[in-house]
Amino acid sequence: MDKKTNFFQYTNNFIKTSHVLSIPILESNLRNKSAVTIAIPTYKRSNLLKITIDSALNQYGYDDYNVIVIDNNPERNDATEQLLLTYNNSKLSYFKNEQNIGMCGNWNRFFELSQTQWTVMLHDDDILSPYYLETISRYLDDNISLIKPQIVKFYNNENLEYPKYQCTLPLRKLALTDFMLGCAIGAPSHVIFQTKDVIQLGGFNEDFYPTFDFVFNLQCVKCKNIYMLPYMLGGYRVLENESLQQSTMKRYFQNRLIISAFILRNLHVPKLFIKIIHFFAYPLWVGDIGRKYKMKYKMNIVYHILPDCIGSFVVRVFSYMVKAINNVY
């Protein structure tokens, strides 16, 4: 990835792992008879996986779905396989990849395995609200490619409080300008995708790690209809994992600057303005991540001499200007 990368260019990422088979250990007969698949990609996380699976299987008020667990650890009879074999649920399927195809490859694989119009991605340490499908199913439409509901971060196995009232809030459609300073969707866990649209766009591209979800959403918003639902429908567990390592986060921030510059250029923002926006935005990004995950990162001089409110004000003014120019408001 560099300044010359065209993030809108199509790549068939499914073909990269097409030689690797996914072995069915458990297979539900509802896979091709449901409207929705909840897909849980996993790798050596059996200690947290059970609460995730249980949240997917225990949906209230909506029954037209099935659940797939896709295991990226080819080792047979491991802790994950032993856990899955304790289940006796007609909705549940379990596949093991013959080879480890990487995080990105495993995400793409469950869209290939899904036989339903809609597919929900659920990380193997996160949880769904019991009202997730009952709520979000009322918003599904053939012209929608994905919906991301509001989620809440949690750290341990604390009980999460979900809204008890029926959601009547409208969806908020996202535009390219919503991504110019970061991924408006956030992590792809809890997102419901129209399966055929993911296949049509070529899936997630591992070459853009650790921002391949950001790039996919960017490609999606360019030619599809994507939405946010401001209603809490799940929990996102915060753990010390690969995505929060210092080296990974350094690459994440570098990629984010490159992607942001690409979007701003496509929005006809002059180079000087891009440099100004990034000069003030970068310490805000780094500081925000550091506070959320209690980590320290090297800052530029702006972070040390200016309060967050000033940098935030400058970035917000420039953002409004760009949106106004592009007829968003």
Instruction: Quickly list DSSP for 79-115.
Output: HHHHHHTT---TTEEEEEESS--HHHHHHHHHHHH--
CA distance to 98, 183, 311, per residue, from 308 (Å): 49, 20, 5
Rounded Cα–Cα distance for residues 287 and 240 (Å): 18
Residue carrying the six token digits 């003030």: 280
CA atoms within 13 A on the CB side of 280: 19
Q: Which residues contact 77 (CB under 8 A, 6 or more apart)?
A: none
Q: Which residues contact 170 (CB under 8 A, 6 or more apart)?
A: none
Q: What is the pLDDT of residue 329?
A: 46
**Residue 113 has which token pair?**
């395995």
Q: Which CATH number fits domain 15-241: 3.40.710.10, 3.20.190.10, 3.90.550.10, 3.40.50.720?
A: 3.90.550.10
169 class by beta-carbon count within 10 Å (0-12 exposed, 13-18 middle, 19+ buried): exposed
Rounded Cα–Cα distance for residues 136 and 143 (Å): 15
Maximum separation of any 2 CA atoms in the chain, in Å: 61
Rg (CA), the chain: 20
CA distance to 264, 273, 316, per residue, from 270 (Å): 8, 5, 17
Q: Are 274 and 319 in contact (CB under 8 A)?
A: no
Rounded Cα–Cα distance for residues 202 and 204 (Å): 7
- Amino acid letter, residue 262: F
| Angle 90-92-97 from CA coordinates, rounded to 5° | 140
Q: Are 86 and 76 in contact (CB under 8 A)?
A: no
Q: What is the pLDDT of residue 64?
A: 96
Q: What is the pLDDT of residue 298?
A: 53
pLDDT by position in tens, the chain (length 329): 888 999 999 999 999 999 999 999 999 988 888 999 999 999 999 999 999 999 999 999 999 999 999 999 999 999 999 999 999 999 999 999 999 999 999 999 999 999 999 999 999 999 999 999 999 999 999 999 999 999 998 887 767 888 877 888 999 999 999 998 889 999 999 999 999 999 999 999 999 999 999 999 999 999 999 999 999 999 999 875 555 566 787 788 889 999 999 999 999 889 998 888 888 887 777 665 555 545 554 545 545 455 556 656 666 777 777 777 776 54
- Ordered by start, the domain boundaries in the chain are 15-241, 268-325
